[in-house]
RNA sequence: CGGGGCGUAGCGCAGCCCGGUUAGCGCGCCUGCCUUGGGAGCAGGAGGCCGCAGGUUCGAAUCCUGCCGCCCCGACCA
């Protein structure tokens, strides 16, 4: 491609709206432009990268027996009502105004719809069906450029098996394919145990990339590799011993004391001697009091595993249930189920709210005074706590979710009546898995991890083009001639060459552009070297310009790309 | 959806508080000359519904009201 005739609108300055590095660089390098919040157009160079990612994914999906589909994004709403997911998605699903259609945010229903019409016998199983296609989600707040969009590309696949053992195989082969895909895409990633959330199902893992722009929080152990989404992460933390002597309970006036910090300061005690109370309404009606040690935060995802639906109680509800406001609630006299975090097991001489405004109670003994408390792990893991596997210090940081794999089981096949006959002629629901990869996130995460002050540093797999041939002064005949010769030779070999043949651009301009765009190999043809029969060969990864004889450069490119 | 910020040329910004000639600056763009090893120089030029609508005023980019858009924090996130 001749750069003089290619649309690559690079920017010297970063647009004001872009904040994260990948967003800034994708705009500056002329890869993407925004159309509307969370809706992006891919320009020629950016789309080439998307196509490279697509190729990698296709190869690896085909290698595990995946069959590529292309399903419609425009779906009749009735299909989504079969699984009650119109309600589950709520406002996140786009609805059309002038017909009863929705824009698909994912495709479990549509794949299951086809499966139930086609798959009838165990002999036809397993099946792995996938597609690379546009998804629509009406995100309340799109952000970080292409990382969280309202329209995005997803590779989604679905497995249909006759047994749970076979589902494990389909799931494991996806997990392995995902590792190969992300490795080939040059990403430093890790896999975490995750919550299957509203997707339902029995098991799930996420493929994550550490990034300040991430929206998930993960706990990760450097030494043994334990990793989990903080929604489900656990940790070991030094157990707090029971005092040898239990005091009797006593009431204390605590005017204006609301938080644990204020309470521990007021009483000159350690925060871990306080039991914090939070009241939740579960399954729409039942009040549950959750007791946490000191300032420990409640992990609501863990609560949701116990009760399917959980929300904090409103202030009026608190008043009705306990007779007190949020800062003065405690377990004694609470009418309802009480859950306590494991850290409070067997503790005594604790302080908590008195269920009377401006009063707290001391001398609480969990064994003696709150015998009904169910002890469960409910904490949000904090950095520095012990890894549940090896005990080393655990790290907690933000990350971007690149891919997510789920063992769905029979949730969708049951709801939609997608059944097959086993060897005995007995019918069963298909056992399903679903597996997704966000293509834009692969691209953005790569840029997040592979850039320097000058621009993007593509690897061989994802680079929009393979070679950047730069003629420094195209008005000089000998430079133009040499560039043309090289361009023709390299393209004849089947290499993708971007040829900067612009006549007016200054050398510095061209080199800045090349570094921004980040094609792996730069071949720089300039007056200074050509007189000696040389040109410069630069790898974007190391920035070293190597003098190479005109006659040797094609060989070096062939070697680099193994062609 | 709550909180905050911003909206002036393709991009980055000034002007607004305190209303008043023809709305400026840098980069980019066009023409010509010149220049060619890290985003050159000179000269000339084009490009604005000052986000939109309404209001106040003799007069609004500037003051007031409403709306829209974008960004950030939070909530949400299959």
Nucleotide nearest to A217 (CA to C1'): B77
Between CA A357 and CA A327 the distance in angstroms is 8
- Residue A79's pLDDT is 96
Nucleotide nearest to A37 (CA to C1'): B70
- Residue A196's pLDDT is 61
The pLDDT confidence band at residue A38, using thresholds 50, 70 and 90, is: very high
Between CA A480 and CA A466 the distance in angstroms is 20
The pLDDT confidence band at residue A200, using thresholds 50, 70 and 90, is: low
The pLDDT confidence band at residue A15, using thresholds 50, 70 and 90, is: confident
Task: Quote the DSSP letter at residue A186.
Answer: T
Mark A392-404 as b/e (b = at least 16 C-beta within 10 Å): eebebbebbbbbb
- Residue A296's pLDDT is 85
Covered bases, chain B (protein CB within 7 Å): 1-2, 11-13, 26-28, 35-40, 69-78
- Residue A97's pLDDT is 86
pLDDT tens-digit series, residues A320-351: 888 888 888 899 988 889 999 988 999 999 99
- Residue A234's pLDDT is 84
- Residue A531's pLDDT is 93
Nucleotide B73: closest residue by CA–C1': A141
Phi and psi at A300, nearest 5°, equal -70, -25
- Residue A357's pLDDT is 87
- Residue A486's pLDDT is 98
> Stretch A190-208: mean pLDDT, rounded?
77
Interatomic separation, CA of residue A503 and C1' of nucleotide B31, rounded (Å): 17
Interatomic separation, CA of residue A213 and C1' of nucleotide B21, rounded (Å): 50
Nucleotide nearest to A93 (CA to C1'): B78
Interatomic separation, CA of residue A380 and C1' of nucleotide B76, rounded (Å): 18
DSSP element (H, E) containing A286: strand A286-293
In chain A, the domains with their CATH numbers are 44-233+396-447 (3.30.930.10), 250-376 (3.90.960.10), 467-561 (3.40.50.800)
pLDDT tens-digit series, residues A137-167: 999 999 999 999 999 999 999 999 999 999 9
Helix (H, G, I), strand (E, B) or coil at A205: strand
- Rounded to a whole number of angstroms, the distance between the first and last alpha carbons of chain A is 19
Between CA A310 and CA A280 the distance in angstroms is 6
Average pLDDT, chain A: 92
Whether A522 has a pLDDT exceeding 90, the answer reads yes
Of A235, A185, A243, A163, residue with least CA distance to A449: A185
CA distances from A449 to A57, A185, A455 (A): 20, 11, 12
Q: Is the CB of A512 under 7 A from strand B?
A: yes
Identify the sign of the CA torsion A255, A260, A262, A265. positive
Q: Is the CB of A142 under 7 A from strand B?
A: yes
Between CA A528 and CA A350 the distance in angstroms is 80
Interatomic separation, CA of residue A222 and C1' of nucleotide B63, rounded (Å): 59
DSSP element (H, E) containing A367: helix A366-369
Of A152, A128, A134, A138, residue with least CA distance to A60: A128
The pLDDT confidence band at residue A183, using thresholds 50, 70 and 90, is: very high
CA angle A52–A57–A61, rounded 5-degree value:
150
**Highest-confidence range of A235-249, A260-274, A512-526, by mean pLDDT?**
A512-526
- Interhelix angle A553-561/A477-492, nearest 10 degrees: 30
Whether A198 has a pLDDT exceeding 60, the answer reads no
Q: Is the CB of A230 under 7 A from strand B?
A: no
Whether A238 has a pLDDT exceeding 80, the answer reads no
Q: Percent of chain A having pLDDT more than 90? A: 72
- ipTM score above 0.85: yes
Between CA A544 and CA A563 the distance in angstroms is 23
Q: Please, are residues A104 and A136 in contact by the beta-carbon 8 Å criterion?
A: yes
Q: Please, are residues A347 and A240 in contact by the beta-carbon 8 Å criterion?
A: yes
Nucleotide nearest to A530 (CA to C1'): B37
Phi and psi at A290, nearest 5°, equal -110, 125
Between CA A557 and CA A535 the distance in angstroms is 13
Whether A314 has a pLDDT exceeding 90, the answer reads no
The pLDDT confidence band at residue A16, using thresholds 50, 70 and 90, is: confident
- Residue A197's pLDDT is 58
Q: Percent of chain A having pLDDT more than 70? A: 99
Please tell me the least confidently modeled range out of A14-28, A206-220, A292-306: A292-306
Interatomic separation, CA of residue A238 and C1' of nucleotide B48, rounded (Å): 66
């Amino acid at each position: 491609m001749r750069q003089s005739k290619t649309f690559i609108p690079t920017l010297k300055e970063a647009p004001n709206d872009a904040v994260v590095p990948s967003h800034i660089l994708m705009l500056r390098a002329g890869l993407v432009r925004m159309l509307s919040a969370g809706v992006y157009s891919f320009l020629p160079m950016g789309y080439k990268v998307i196509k490279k990612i697509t190729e990698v994914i296709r190869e690896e999906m085909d290698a595990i027996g995946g069959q590529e589909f292309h399903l419609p994004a425009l779906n009749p709403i009735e299909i989504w009502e079969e699984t009650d997911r119109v309600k589950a998605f709520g406002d996140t699903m786009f609805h059309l105004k002038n017909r009863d259609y929705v824009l698909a945010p994912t495709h479990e229903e549509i794949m299951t719809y086809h499966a139930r019409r086609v798959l009838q016998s165990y002999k036809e199983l397993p099946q792995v069906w996938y597609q690379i296609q546009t998804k629509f989600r009406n995100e309340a707040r799109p952000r970080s450029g292409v990382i969280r969009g309202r329209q995005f590309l997803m590779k989604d696949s679905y497995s249909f098996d006759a047994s749970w053992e076979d589902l494990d195989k389909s799931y494991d082969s996806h997990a392995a394919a995902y590792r190969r895909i992300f490795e080939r895409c040059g990403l430093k990633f890790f896999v975490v145990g995750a919550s299957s959330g509203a997707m339902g199902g029995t098991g799930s893992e996420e493929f994550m990339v550490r990034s300040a722009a991430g929206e998930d929080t993960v706990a990760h152990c450097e030494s043994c590799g334990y990793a989990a989404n903080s929604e489900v992460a656990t940790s070991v933390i030094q157990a707090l011993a029971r005092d040898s002597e239990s005091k009797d309970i006593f009431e204390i006036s605590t005017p204006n004391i609301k938080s644990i910090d204020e309470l521990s300061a007021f009483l000159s005690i350690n925060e871990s001697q306080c039991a914090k109370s939070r009241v939740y309404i579960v399954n729409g009606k039942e009040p549950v009091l959750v007791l946490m040690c000191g300032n420990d935060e409640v992990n609501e995802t863990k609560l949701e595993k116990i009760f399917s639906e959980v929300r904090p109680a409103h202030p009026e509800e608190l008043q009705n249930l306990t007779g007190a406001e949020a800062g003065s609630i405690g377990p004694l006299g609470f009418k309802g189920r009480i859950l306590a975090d494991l850290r409070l097991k067997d503790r005594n001489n604790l302080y908590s709210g008195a269920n009377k405004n401006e009063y707290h109670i001391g001398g609480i003994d969990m064994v003696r005074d709150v015998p009904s408390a169910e002890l469960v792990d409910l904490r949000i893991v904090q950095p520095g706590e012990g890894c549940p596997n090896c005990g080393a210090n655990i790290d907690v940081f933000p990350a971007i979710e690149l891919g997510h794999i789920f063992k769905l089981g029979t949730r969708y096949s049951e709801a939609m009546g997608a059944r097959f006959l086993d060897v005995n002629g007995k019918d069963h629901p298909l056992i399903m898995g679903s597996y997704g990869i966000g293509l834009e996130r692969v691209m953005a995460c790569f840029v997040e991890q592979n850039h320097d002050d000058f621009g993007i540093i593509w690897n061989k797999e994802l680079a929009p083009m393979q070679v950047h041939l730069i003629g420094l002064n195209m008005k000089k005949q000998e430079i133009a001639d040499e560039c043309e010769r090289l361009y023709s030779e390299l393209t004849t070999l089947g290499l993708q060459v971007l040829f900067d043949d612009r006549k007016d651009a200054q050398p510095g301009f061209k080199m800045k552009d090349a570094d921004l765009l980040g094609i792996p190999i730069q071949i720089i043809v300039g007056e200074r070297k050509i007189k000696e029969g040389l040109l410069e060969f630069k790898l974007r990864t190391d920035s070293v310009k190597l003098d190479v004889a005109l006659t040797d450069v094609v060989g070096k490119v062939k070697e680099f790309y193994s062609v």
